[in-house]
A = this chain, B = another copy of it.
Amino acid sequence: SDRQKQETGKSLDPYSTDPIRHPALHVNSLKPFNAEPPAVILSDNYITPSAIFFKRNHLPVPQVDANIYRLHVEVLPGVTPGVTPLSLSLDELKTRFPKHTVTATLQCAGNRRSEMNKVKPVKGLNWGIAAISNATWSGAKLKDVLLAAGYRPELAQLACHVQFEGMDRDVTGTTYGASIPLNKALSDDGDVLLAYQMNGEDLPADHGYPVRVVVPGIVGARNVKWLGRILVSQEESRSHWQQNDYKGFSPATDWDTVDFKLAPAIQELPVQSAITQPAEGAMLDRRANEVRVKGYAWSGGGREVVRVDVSLDGGQTWKVANLQSGEKPQPGRAWAWKLWELTASLPPGTQELEIVCKAVDNSYNMQPDTVAPIWNLRGVLSNAWHR
C-alpha cells in the first residue's frame, strides 16, 4: 500500500519527512539540511522572515506531535533527591509560565567559514556570510521553569551548567545536545527562553517545533531545537558538539595535535559584521557618482554594536556607517543585530572599489584585520574584516 511504501521510504531515509523549504535558500547540505539566504537580501529586513532565516540542522528534522509532547526538566538528579522532576505538556508550558518576547540574532559558529577555507581547507559546511539571522522569539523564561522544577539558589555550589537535549537523533539513537552556563540561565537579564513562537507564529519545523531554547548572545549551536529534556548539572553536556566540536583553536593546531579538552566550548561570540550590498564582484554604474553599501553587525554576550567603519580603499581610509536597530537595547541586553548603510561618493576615476567593513561593540572589541591569524581547523569564529 501507499502507506507501507511511505513507511518503508521513511525507514530508509530519515530525511524523507523533512519540511519543504524556500527555493531562494543557498543549500550547503541537503541531509541534514543546512542553508542560508542570499546575502544580498539579508539586510532587506530587520526581522528576518522565518522562511529565509538560515537553517542549521545537525540531524533529520524530528516529527513531533504537539499533543503528546512533553518537556522533561531535571535538577541535579541523584544529588537532589527531594526535587521532583517536571514533565510539561506544550499547553502547560504556555499557560503555567508568563510569556516573554525577545528579539535575538542567532549566528552559526561556522558563519563566514568559506573565507577560512580560502586560506587553507577546514572541516565543515562552507557557509557564506548569511549563516546569521534575526527574529522575535516568544516563550517561557527558562529561569521560571527551573524554579518551578525545584532549582534553589543553594544549589549554585553544586551546579554550573544547564544541559539541553534535542529530539533529533542519529541512526544510533544519539540525540543532539548542548549546555550553557547556569548563571546565564538564571540571570534576570539573560533572557533565555523556551520558545514556542518565532516571529509571532508557531515555530517552523526547521526551527525546532514545538519548543526550542533561545539563548540570546550565545552561539547558535547551544540554542537547541526540538527540545526534549533540560538538566541542571555539575558538568557540561557530554555531547559531541559540546566536547569535541564548536571550540576555537590556534592557527598552529592541526588535526594531529588538537586536544579538544584544551579549549572552552564556544558560548558568547565575538564582534561580527559583513557587507551584504553591493554583492561581491558587482558592477557599479559608471554614471553613478556614489555607492550605497549595506550590511549587518552584531556582537555576542549582549554587547551592543556602537560603530561600523566602512572603507572603499581596502582599509586605508574609513567612514562611519549609519546604524539601524530596533528599540534602544537595555545595557548588556543588546541581543539583536544592527543593520547599517553608508552612501559614499566615488573618488573620481575609480576603476575598482575594495569595500571593507569592521564593527566595534560597547566593550570596544573590534574585528581582527585578516583571516589567516584566526584560521582554525574547524573553521569557526570567522570574524575578520569583511571585504
Contact = CB atoms under 8 A, between A and B. Distances in A.
Interface of A: 160, 181, 183, 189, 248, 250-253, 263-264, 266-271, 300-301, 303, 306-307, 309, 315, 317-320, 331-332, 358, 360, 362-370, 373-374, 381
Given A263-B307, A331-B160, A368-B369, A362 B320 contact: no
A181 B303 CA distance: 14
A29 B269 CA distance: 39
A252 B181 contact: no
Contact of A369 (B301, B317, B331, B373): B373
A-B residue pairs, 10 tightest by C-beta: A369-B369, A268-B363, A270-B365, A365-B365, A252-B318, A270-B364, A364-B381, A181-B331, A366-B368, A250-B320
Contact of A362 (B250, B251, B268): B268
Contact of A320 (B160, B183, B252, B303): B252
Given A270-B365, A364-B269, A365-B365, A252 B306 contact: no
A256 B263 CA distance: 46
Contacts of A317: 251-252
A253 to B, nearest CB: 8
Contacts of A307: 248, 250, 263
A250 B271 CA distance: 16
Given A331-B181, A368-B367, A373-B369, A362 B264 contact: yes
Contacts of A315: 373
Nearest to A321: B250
A264 B332 CA distance: 13
Contact of A318 (B269, B270, B364, B373): B373
Contact of A363 (B181, B189, B301, B362): B301
Contacts of A309: 250-252, 373
B263 A306 contact: yes
B364 A266 contact: yes
28 contacts: A160-B331, A181-B331, A183-B331, A248-B360, A248-B364, A250-B307, A251-B317, A252-B317, A252-B320, A253-B320, A264-B306, A266-B364, A268-B303, A268-B364, A269-B363, A269-B364, A270-B363, A270-B366, A271-B365, A309-B373, A315-B373, A363-B365, A364-B381, A366-B368, A366-B373, A367-B368, A369-B369, A369-B373
A316 to B, nearest CB: 9
Nearest to A304: B264
A4 B268 CA distance: 62
Nearest to A217: B363
Most chain B beta carbons < 10 A, residue from A264, A309, A315, A358: A264
B251 A318 contact: yes
A332 B252 contact: no
A17 to B, nearest CB: 36
Contacts of A374: 366
Nearest to A306: B264
A307 B270 CA distance: 15
A183 to B, nearest CB: 6
Contacts of A250: 307, 309, 318-320
A272 B96 CA distance: 46
A105 to B, nearest CB: 15
Contacts of A365: 270-271, 363, 365
Contacts of A181: 331-332
A88 to B, nearest CB: 28
A373 B359 CA distance: 11
A66 to B, nearest CB: 35
Given A183-B332, A263-B307, A307-B263, A319 B362 contact: no
